[in-house]
Structure 1
Amino acid sequence: MPLLIPETDFSDQLRRPSTNKAAAKKFLAKYPKPYHLEGFIIPEGYRFVTNKKGKQIRLIDKTDSSNPRIIYAVNIELSDKKIGQRSCTQVMVWSDPVEEELTIGLPKKVFSALLEEYVIMISDEEQTNDGKRFWERRLIQSLKNGHFVYFYDSFQLGSQLIQINTVDEFLEEYEPLGWGQDNEHKGKMFIISKMKI
């Protein structure tokens, strides 16, 4: 599970207006298709879109059509290699701090939609402190919702998925194991699943 890292390049790129607008224009030039998120009302002048492969999702402010801006971005990876079952991993999540009123709760809603669609969500290998807080909240909420939550350490000999049954168990035993500063944490992951694995 995640190696804790400082701010990322994509965060720096999307935070600066000039590079954000360039990234928005590049994304829109590839003819994205609409992305539908149940319960999310897209404000006038905005577009919620995904790339053709469905692995990049963006909320874009087009109120100034010549200078669109990315307000929210997430990239996903689909794989069956990590745990032997098809799963989804968010490898990049970013929200514009200037548009907090619009994006508050949006990452949680997108995560929930991805869990609904792909059934199994796996944490990414590297996370910022914001990413860690996001995953802690998703894990706690999933335990409260009765989803299956697991811990896995690929560096342990004969490693197996360990089911986490309660919020207290997660906070006491597995939260301290899951994140850290050394490379071995890239082999540790948390898994949220709507079915027993």
Structure 2
Amino acid sequence: MPKRLLDPEKVNEVFAHLNESSDNHALYSSLVEGTDITNQIKGLVLSPGYRMVRVDGRLGEWISQSHFELALINDVSKEVAYYNRVVIQPDVVLNCRPVTQILVWRIRTPQHRAVLRDLAGKVFFDYLIERYNVIVSDMNQTTDGMAFWQDRMYDALAYNMHVYAYDMISCELRKILTQGDVSRQEIWLWGDPEHHQNRLAIISKNELPLQ
């Protein structure tokens, strides 16, 4: 899975610009007319001023795949508090159209912490999995991103979902059945620099490959 973004400059390039007020406000302006999906996420209750929005296909000049953006925006401060860029990538071996979160970011300022608590997990299970059935990890992972995926794998097992480790080159699909399996497969997914860009974690509502 997942190539770690260990280079501090690379991590900064991918994420840090959203902490700048001008860049954050520019992103807010780009997303503010998006479809309000707050009521489509089961159990999501937001404080006044916040909305969860979705924008489809805005980045077609840079992203060739079908894609969409999810964001938690605050219409009072005109800020983006949470941002998730998602691509849809068909896989003929798995016989499905899984989605991949290729950039997930949240603001660090204290006034937004309460509303952000557990939000990433709710978006993952109560929106993405509910609508697309299969989520595959991104090959470019920060340390935080890998920890997030490990947490979601444990959660998925508790929810009786299907969890896998998958090699895109060999098409080897390893089923993960227990918490111990998660720990054992972490090295296979993340630990080998020669192979980690080709190895992905998968969480699915249905057993794979789909028939």
TM over 0.5: yes
What does residue 90 of structure 2 align with?
Answer: 80
Question: What TM-score does the superposition give when structure 2 sets the normalisation length?
Answer: 0.83
Q: Would the aligned equivalents of 1:120 and 1:194 in 2 still touch at CA under 8 Å?
A: yes
The unaligned stretches of length 5 or more in structure 1 are none
Residue 91 in 1 paired to residue 102 in 2? Answer: yes
The aligned counterpart of 1:117 is 131
Q: Which runs of 4+ in 1 moved over 3 A?
A: none
- Which amino acid is 1:129 matched to? T
Specify the alignment match of 1:160 in structure 2: 172
1:151-190 alignment runs, 5 A limit: 151-156=165-170, 159-171=171-183, 173-180=184-191, 182=193, 184-190=195-201
Post-superposition Cα deviations, 1:75-95, rounded to whole Å, max 9, x if no partner, equal 111121373311111111111
The 1:106/1:8 distance shift into structure 2, 3 A limit, reads same
TM-score by length of 1: 0.88
Which of 127, 135, 153 aligns to 2:149? It is 135
* Matching residue of 2:79: 69
Mapped contact 1:5–1:181 kept (Cα < 8 A): no
| 2:25 aligned counterpart, secondary structure | helix
TM-superposed deviation, 1:181: 7.1
Number of residue pairs matched by the alignment: 189
**How much does 1:186 deviate?**
1.1
Percent identical: 27
Residue 101 in 1 paired to residue 114 in 2?
A: yes
Question: Within the alignment, does 1:19 sit opposite 2:32 as a pair?
Answer: no
Three-state SS of the structure 2 residue aligned to 1:124 is coil
C-alpha distance in structure 2 between counterparts of 1:160 and 1:183, whole Å: 16
Which string of whole-angstrom CA distances, capped at 9 and with x for unpartnered residues, describes residues 78-136 of structure 1?
12137331111111111111122110100000000211111111111111011001000
- 2:68 is the alignment partner of 1:55: yes
Name the CA distance, whole Å, in 1 between partners of 2:148 and 2:169.
24
CA distance in 1, matches of 2:194, 2:12: 17
1:6-50 Cα offsets, whole Å, 9 max, x none, are 32524111122221112212222xx31111322112222222211
Q: Any idea what SS the aligned residue of 1:97 has? A: coil
Task: Work out whether residues 150 and 182 of structure 2, in 8 Å CA contact, stay in contact via their aligned partners in 1.
Answer: no
